[in-house]
């Protein structure tokens, strides 16, 4: 059945519009119904905006009341906490290339082998076009500014931004 749900999501539901188009609540409901049957763990009342891509979903966990932003791209083992919201065009990569062998061409598919899980805590706001790289943990109650490239982990209540991302301030 998972194959059928995945097919329906990627062929039909993924492309359905978001608000303020009439019928958008039904489209959100339909995407949620399919996604919760596809991904590893899906909390209640998760909002899935259009064009989200997460492969076969076997490595993605999403907490209650979270939101998967428009055009989200997820690769590898990713855990998203509860009450997380994200802007459009977020990329979360938990898979990287093994580039230790200089005699192996970069394009060799066997290089794509290192999985470093990504963890995003509860109550996190991820801005538009943020890129989160493998092995990163984002603490709960944090904010990631638009356009940030997150290459390392950050503690709870951090406001981060930049390329590479750094702490701008701590939330009180």
Catalytically active residues are 97
> Alpha-carbon distance 112 to 138, whole Å?
24
Residues 6+ apart with CB under 8 A from 166: 160
The residues that bridge with 60 in the sheet, in sequence order, are 78
- Secondary structure letter of residue 53 according to DSSP: B
DSSP string, 71-88: T-EEESSEEE-TT-EE-T
Classified as helix, coil or strand, 124 is coil
Give residue 162's Cα distance to chain centre: 19
> Alpha-carbon distance 1 to 38, whole Å?
9
> Alpha-carbon distance 27 to 23, whole Å?
6
């Amino acid at each position: 059945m998972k194959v059928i749900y995945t097919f329906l999501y990627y062929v039909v539901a993924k492309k359905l519009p978001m608000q303020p188009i009439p019928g958008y609540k039904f489209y959100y409901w339909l995407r949620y119904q399919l996604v919760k049957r596809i991904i590893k763990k899906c909390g209640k009342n998760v909002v899935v905006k259009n064009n989200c891509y997460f492969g076969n979903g076997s490595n993605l966990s999403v907490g209650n009341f979270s939101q998967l932003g428009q055009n989200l791209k997820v690769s590898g083992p990713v855990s998203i906490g509860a009450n997380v919201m994200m802007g459009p065009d977020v990329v979360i990569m938990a898979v990287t290339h093994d580039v230790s062998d200089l005699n192996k061409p970069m394009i060799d598919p066997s290089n794509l082998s290192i999985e470093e899980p990504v963890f995003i805590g509860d109550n996190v706001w991820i801005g538009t076009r943020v890129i989160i790289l493998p092995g990163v943990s984002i603490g709960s109650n944090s904010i990631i500014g638009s356009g940030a490239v997150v290459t390392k982990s950050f503690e709870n209540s951090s406001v981060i931004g930049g390329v590479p991302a750094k702490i701008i301030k701590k939330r009180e």
